[in-house]
Structure 1
């Protein structure tokens, strides 16, 4: 996918990065651009002399228009890979090298293992119903293992240079997330949709529903089927690994994006506990998380450089999701 946030990187630059981190006599072999994402540039890079099959992931070049919560995206992804490699129950690619100097390519970058499997969303039709339930249970176990890691504060996993966001309560931290997003709208000169300003005002009224979240949990916040890789073994698909950790934060586990589509992920909801998920306070918080994500998607149409048709689809979808979330709050 083409996006204004993706840096332009040449094969010669990739080869220079390989030499910088793996040895001056080491060269990159086959290089293939991975076009699925919207934020970072990614390339599959084979290094024959080291018998390595890697992914180079590079963040936006300095000066790119990015959101406040994205300012430390690459550092967050690197921190997550280092943190999660200590937890065997959470399958993540091995991190090989980190380059934050921006002296070879325009963005901060790192090399990690290439996952040989396929994204779940790409092969969903190949997975039988029985196998799908099994995969969903594996997915739930992985996500719950991530959420079981606890922090000392609510907010960004890696703080921005100005120290944001780090708060003692989840309500305060989430309020900061939404407020900084509205600041991004102003910074980009984009009119804030009415549902977003309304949501911020309603946060004060619904503060009691945030009180049950007393312990900061690690939240991936982008663990959808496109970031879950499956491999086929013994006649069944299994989760091979998960990727894309740049949105991770210390938050409420119910902020995970899979809960955006509870019917699609019914087995996941059952693993967490359906009664707990359907509790009034959780549903109120879920409505706010949907509003926040809808406000992000609505703004992305102006900052990512999408095609006109794709931008229209994103706009209509985000507005529809926001209406549903507002209706949920009105019924609460």
Structure 2
């Protein structure tokens, strides 16, 4: 499916920022999962602008938090900058209907290289991974008053972490029911796990910033001569406020240098282990769901599903 936005819509966005005399030298579609992203070069900004537009198609398979993420994303970039964490420089957030029909976000483009190109076992690479861990820790120390999502209409905010996890679990399971992915026993098991471990979830009493999609693809680095530099944490559209452990569930790909920069966490405590298992189950259900329904990847669906089933049996036993 071609999701390209007409060039005249892109021009409206750029003219709103730079005036109608601006010269657009190049427009490049750079993909996107739930959004369409464009790198736009002009004669007024050396590196260019990145325009991120909400993708209006295929909303039926989306969870609610995915449908209105750009306002929250802009808010999170502001918080990161206020706390000295390298991130994207937001030029403008525009709600639907203000300039064009779609909601969009404009940021400055940051030149980068893939994080995975950094040799973690060399001194230059270790330092970059250590800085990465340091900034993730700083991000996890950002606190707000309510748990859950930050959206312009205050949707998705909760007074307790347990309430948020219950609400998210309910929506996720209801969405999979629409496609008949699991049987009744599966749904009962997941709900029972959440209820049985309310005490562990209630140990999270402070809503901290959680990226919720902290893969290497959402971390920008660059190389100047022989030195690697940490440039930015990006793609905050899924950001929630709650338990930092959710960002640390899959820590197998983080080298020791990351933990040197990050420091300690509650991951090794009994309650932390229980919560990590719950988050892993919910992540697995979400990944299995999008693998099958959005990408028609049956092999990945089966793989993710097998891990989820094994995790459910483990925590119930």
CA–CA separation in structure 2 for the residues paired with 1:323 and 1:12? 49
Runs of 4+ aligned structure 1 residues displaced above 6 Å come to none
- Aligned partner of residue 149 in structure 1, secondary structure: coil
Q: What residue number does 2:105 align with?
A: 110
Aligned-pair CA distance for 1:102 = 4.1
Secondary structure in structure 1 of the residue aligned to 2:91 = strand
- 2:78 paired residue number: 82
Match of 2:215 in 1: 224
Q: Distance in 2 between matches of 1:317 and 1:196?
A: 19
Deviation at 1:211, TM superposition (A): 2.5
Name the structure 1 match of 2:139: 146
The CA distance in 2 between the partners of 1:107 and 1:275, in whole Å, is: 40
Q: How much does 1:330 deviate?
A: 4.3
Residue 266 of structure 1 deviates from its aligned partner by 4.4
* Cα separation, 1, equivalents of 2:181 and 2:95: 34
SS at match of 1:263: coil
User: For the structure 1 residues 283 and 271, does the alpha-carbon distance in structure 2 shift closer, same or farther, using more than 3 Å as the test?
Assistant: farther
Deviation at 1:86, TM superposition (A): 1.5
Do the aligned partners of residues 38 and 155 (structure 1) sit closer, same or farther apart at CA in structure 2, a change above 3 Å counting?
A: same
Match of 1:314 in 2: 300
Structure 1, unpaired ranges of 5+: none
Q: Given the alignment of the two structures, is residue 252 of structure 1 paired with residue 216 of structure 2, yes or no?
A: no
Matches within 5 A, 1:1-332: 7-35=3-31, 37-61=32-56, 64-65=59-60, 66-88=62-84, 90-102=85-97, 105-121=100-116, 123-124=117-118, 128-158=121-151, 164-186=155-177, 188-192=178-182, 195=186, 197-233=188-224, 235-256=226-247, 259-267=248-256, 268-269=258-259, 271-273=261-263, 276-304=266-294, 306=295, 308=296, 311-330=297-316
How many residues align structurally?
314
CA RMSD of superposed structures (Å): 2.5
Task: List per-residue Cα deviations over 1:258-296 (Å, max 9, x = no partner).
Answer: x23323214344555567322111111011111111111
| Structure 2 unaligned regions, length at least 5 | none
Inter-CA distance 104–301: structure 2 relative to 1 (3 Å threshold) = farther
